[in-house]
């Protein structure tokens, strides 16, 4: 599965993240939301990966957001989506997402989580395993 990166124009963090993905040969699709509005389906897929819906993805310090003067918590999902479609810069940038996780903003440590990794079986001491089974 590939990474999707939602970027904004003239955003240095977006450029850095893309450069990083290329350097690490991680397949990705870029979508520049300042020229191509986010679809409702994409928006929901982003929300799905967040902890608390909006806190992580809204750039509360941005002028776009401040000028709007709205209480996010009072909005329905539909209303919030309409707002974001109109004012994409109220979102933080970039937003990276794959089937497992979301990362907002560029951070050279955290972005490494998108490097595919293998999984191995944790070898528990068999004796202890039996002991636990007896206890539980």
The residue ranges that bind another protein (CB under 8 A) are: 1, 11-13, 16, 41, 44-45, 47-56, 58-62, 76-78, 92-93, 99-101, 105-110, 112-113, 115, 117-122, 124, 128-129, 132, 135-136
Give the whole-angstrom CA distance, residue 19 versus residue 5. Answer: 12
Residue (29 or 121) nearer to another protein, CB: 121
Nearer to another protein, 30 or 54 (CB): 54
CA distances (Å), 59 to each of 2, 5, 49, 84, 122, in order? Answer: 25, 17, 17, 11, 40
Q: Which is nearer to another protein, 22 or 101 (CB)?
A: 101
CB 27 to another protein: min, Å: 15
Q: Compute the least distance from the CB of residue 52 to another protein, in Å.
A: 5
Q: Which of 5, 11, 17, 57 is catalytic?
A: 11
11 is an active site residue = yes
Rounded to whole angstroms, the Cα distance separating 105 from 16 reads 10
Alpha carbons 47 and 71: distance in angstroms, whole number? 18
Gap between the Cα atoms of 42 and 6, Å rounded: 10
Catalytic positions are 11
């Amino acid at each position: 599965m590939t990474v999707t990166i939602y970027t904004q124009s003239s955003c240095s963090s977006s450029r850095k993240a893309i450069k990083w993905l290329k350097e690490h040969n991680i397949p990705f699709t870029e979508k520049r939301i300042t020229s191509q509005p986010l679809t409702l389906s994409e928006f929901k897929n982003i929300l799905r990966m967040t902890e608390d819906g909006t806190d992580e993805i809204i750039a509360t310090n941005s002028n776009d957001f401040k000028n709007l003067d709205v209480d996010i918590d009072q909005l329905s999902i539909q209303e919030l989506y309409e707002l974001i479609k109109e004012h994409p810069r109220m979102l933080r940038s970039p937003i990276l997402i794959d089937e497992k996780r979301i990362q907002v903003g560029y951070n050279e440590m955290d972005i490494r989580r998108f490097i595919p990794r293998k999984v191995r079986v944790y070898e528990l001491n068999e004796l202890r395993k039996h002991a636990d089974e007896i206890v539980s």
